[in-house]
Chain A
Amino acid sequence: MISTISKLFRLLSSDIEPSQLSLGITLGFIAGLSPVLSSQSLLVFVLLISLRVNVSIFVISFGLISLIAYLADALLIMIGFSVLNMPELSAMFTDMYNIGLWRFLNFNNTVAMGSLVVSIVAAVPCYFLSHYLIVKYRSSVVEKWKQSAVFNYMKNSKLIGKVASISEKVS
């Protein structure tokens, strides 16, 4: 857990494009919310391979969101159930229900539909928010930290260097 957090901070502080990181976080968010066999998971898998996305941050994001999503299942089920029972969408869902591929992708599952809706609604804000936060983090927190006396002491300390290298090896 500690190494994950340390890895996250290292990634945030690295030179990797903020858009790659925010896209990874967004895709991890969608995948973390959704059941494995669902249309959005399939889409995430394709996007993950074909787009320049940071896979490490995707994995961290996916893991963290999965934990939170488990707690949010009740909410996802409620949303999914409400959407699937909307009379306005009933005809469309019936059409989809009669198509094998959609049935295979479990579109009529309340968790899958709930997570899809939440993903659609939250993906774009998630991308921009994470992008903004990364940029902000780098410009304010990282820059200030690099200029601090503690950072300079630690940078020059041989002991801390050794501890860091051992920790690196252990992790």
Chain B
Amino acid sequence: MKLIRTKGLISLFIGLPLLIVLLVFLSGPLLKLILESQLGSLNGAEVNIENVDISYSPLTVTLSGLQATDKETPKKNIVSFDKALLEIKSESLLKGKFIISDMQLETVQFSTQRKQSGQVYNKETAEQETQEKNNQQASFASGSLDVPDINELIDKADLKSPAAFKAFEEQADKTKKSWKEVEVFLEDKKKWDGYKQRYRQIKAEYKKGNTKKRLKALKKLKKLNKEIKFELKIFSQQRKQLKADYKNLKQAYKAAKNAPDDDLDIMKNSYSLNSDNLENISRLIFDDKITGYLVLAKKYYKKLQPYLESDEEELVAVERSQGKFVLFKDRDPEPDFLIEEASFSAHLPSGVFQGKATDIASDQAVQNKASLIQLRGEKLKHSKAEEIKLVLDVRNKKIPQVKFSYDIEARNISNYKVAGGDTLPLVMKSAQLDLNSEVNLIKNQVKGHLNSHFSHVSFASNKDTSGRSLSSIIAAAFLKVDAFKIDAYAHGKVLKPKLKIKSDIDNKINKLLKVRLNQIREEYALELKEKLKNRYADKLGKIENVMSGLDKYKKDLEAKQNALESKLNKYKK
């Protein structure tokens, strides 16, 4: 009996290589289909690969023209690259492990336009992110901090001037009345002429008469003297009266004249225009921005979270008929999936970044190496250099650690909207930024810092910077800032970190604010004074006229009194 089946042996030797050759030819298209399907379901939207080439010595897979649809904007790719070269360890493949010893990605691009909209497999409802921004900008619009309208302030104020004017007028009327009586008394010509006649008569009687007549004349003179003395006493009383009246009038006049100034002081103190509320202006303005970045960081953390969470290996119940695998010592332990080294060039809007990644593994504990992703771009469109570094350490799955750093060297900023809205439209027209930041995430605790230095700063605002609203004052102060630093610190729970922002811009702005506020306060006071002056100009003019009239009146009265007094004194002799 012939033991060997010749035909079978021939078919084995011919058929097997043929089968292998067929597989080699089909492996590319097959892998393309598998990858498109698997990556598509992973991405949640269509993934297209132009071509897949496989070479077997060493085992290398070349993917050309990969485009992954952005499931939120199907007209765009979330990521695309021209070429990916993957060198795979075939020995490890037999062990059921996918080890990429070297990976090179060329021209990685994000958010590129697709020729045709990609199919979205499971459209997730867009997650409404809670806006945790404290809208402190609203405080800029707060009227209580703004300078009040002068006319409104005058109308509403409890002014002292009208009462003072009224008091003066009353006093003036009273004085006039009192002085009129004096005038009437002084101008009693009949009375004063009577004294003159009597004096002359007594004098004539004394000169011409005998002793008896002379004695009679002396008696009459004595009586006249007594009457004149009485009149002089009245004069004296009237003088005192005049003096007292004048004193009261002067007091009322002074009070009326000073009343507008007193009112000005009262009104100046009735509004508070100070910079006490603006101690932390950087937080007020930049908090929005930094909180925005935190929201973004949280979004990425949530995406990263499943990889960081401890996934205790579950013992899969093996079916009896499948038996179980007895493990032996692995001399070269490898995780199920590993990218030992990858290099790539990413074409971002700001320029070309060169990147490298090492030890991207499904189980870092196997090799005891943390994953590293590093991106560095030099001579970029807007900056001298930028570097992003991410270290993902899940060797101990109970305490996952992430270290992220982002450094920027000499980034030119132009037309950066710092604060928006009508309240404080502030734009950083140009500046140069140097920044370094680092975030350390240990389990669910975060600790990070950001140090930034803005130089050659030029702010712009379409707000009227000569205005007196707080936002205008702040805008005006910003226009004078040419450099500042902002340091931010975050620590605490990763989804609710405590944020601390420090900046020297606070001091700078506050100093400038104080100067401007003082200036405004002075301008305001002058304006208020002017307004009050205009309002009371007529009144004060009248008062002035009344006062000068009364002054003249007093002098007249005094002159008349003096003249009469000297005359009467003559009659006394």
Contact = CB atoms under 8 A, between A and B. Distances in A.
Interface of A: 17, 19-20, 35, 46, 48-53, 70, 73-74, 76-77, 80-81, 84-85, 90, 93-94, 97-98, 100-101, 103-104, 106, 108-112, 114
A57 B460 CA distance: 93
B11 A109 contact: no
B1 A108 contact: no
Contacts of B12: 46, 49-50
A100 B92 contact: yes
Nearest to B327: A108
Contacts, number: 86
A51 B328 CA distance: 36
Going nearest first, the 8 A-B pairs with the smallest beta carbon separation are A100-B94, A111-B323, A110-B323, A97-B328, A104-B94, A84-B326, A49-B8, A100-B91
A14 B517 CA distance: 118
Q: Which residue among A49, A81, A90 has the maximum number of chain B CB atoms within 10 Å of its CB?
A: A49
Nearest to A114: B323
Contacts of A108: 325-328
B277 interface: no
B136 to A, nearest CB: 62
Given A50-B8, A50-B9, A85 B328 contact: no
28 contacts: A35-B322, A35-B323, A49-B5, A50-B5, A50-B8, A50-B12, A51-B5, A52-B1, A73-B321, A73-B323, A81-B324, A93-B326, A93-B328, A97-B328, A98-B328, A98-B331, A98-B332, A103-B96, A104-B95, A104-B96, A108-B327, A109-B322, A109-B323, A109-B324, A110-B324, A111-B323, A112-B323, A114-B323
B2 interface: yes
A90 B94 CA distance: 21
Given A51-B3, A52-B5, A94 B329 contact: yes
A90 B329 CA distance: 10
Contacts of A17: 1
B9 A98 contact: no
Contact of A111 (B90, B91, B321, B328): B321
A49 B5 CA distance: 7
B502 to A, nearest CB: 57
A111 B322 contact: yes
B42 interface: no
Contact of A51 (B4, B90, B91, B322): B4
A94 to B, nearest CB: 5
Nearest to B331: A98
Contact of A109 (B4, B90, B320, B325): B325
A81 B23 CA distance: 36
Interface string B199-232: 0000000000000000000000000000000000
Nearest to A73: B321
Given A35-B322, A35-B323, A101-B94, 11 more contacts: A49-B12, A50-B5, A50-B12, A52-B4, A73-B320, A80-B323, A94-B331, A104-B95, A108-B325, A108-B326, A112-B323
Contacts of A53: 5
Interface residues of B, number: 29
Contacts of B526: none
A19 B4 CA distance: 13
B93 A77 contact: no
B188 interface: no
A45 B325 CA distance: 24
A91 to B, nearest CB: 10
A14 B427 CA distance: 99
A68 to B, nearest CB: 13
Nearest to B332: A98
B50 to A, nearest CB: 31
B321 A70 contact: yes
Given A49-B9, A90-B328, A104-B95, A77 B323 contact: yes
Contact of A85 (B11, B94, B326): B326
A97 B95 CA distance: 9
A22 to B, nearest CB: 12
B330 interface: yes
B1 A19 contact: yes
A84 B328 CA distance: 9
A111 B96 CA distance: 19
A73 B318 CA distance: 13
A17 B2 CA distance: 10
A112 B91 CA distance: 21
Contacts of A106: 325
A81 B324 CA distance: 9
A46 B1 CA distance: 19
B320 A77 contact: yes
Contact of A110 (B94, B326, B331): B326
Interface string B329-340: 111100000000
Contacts of B1: 17, 19-20, 52
A76 B321 CA distance: 9
B214 to A, nearest CB: 168
A106 B327 CA distance: 11
Contact of A52 (B3, B11, B332): B3
Nearest to A81: B326
A94 B330 CA distance: 8
Contacts of A114: 323
B95 A50 contact: no
Contacts of A97: 327-330
Contacts of A70: 321
A77 B90 CA distance: 30
Name which of A20, A53, A81, A108 has the most chain B CB atoms within 10 A of its CB. Answer: A108
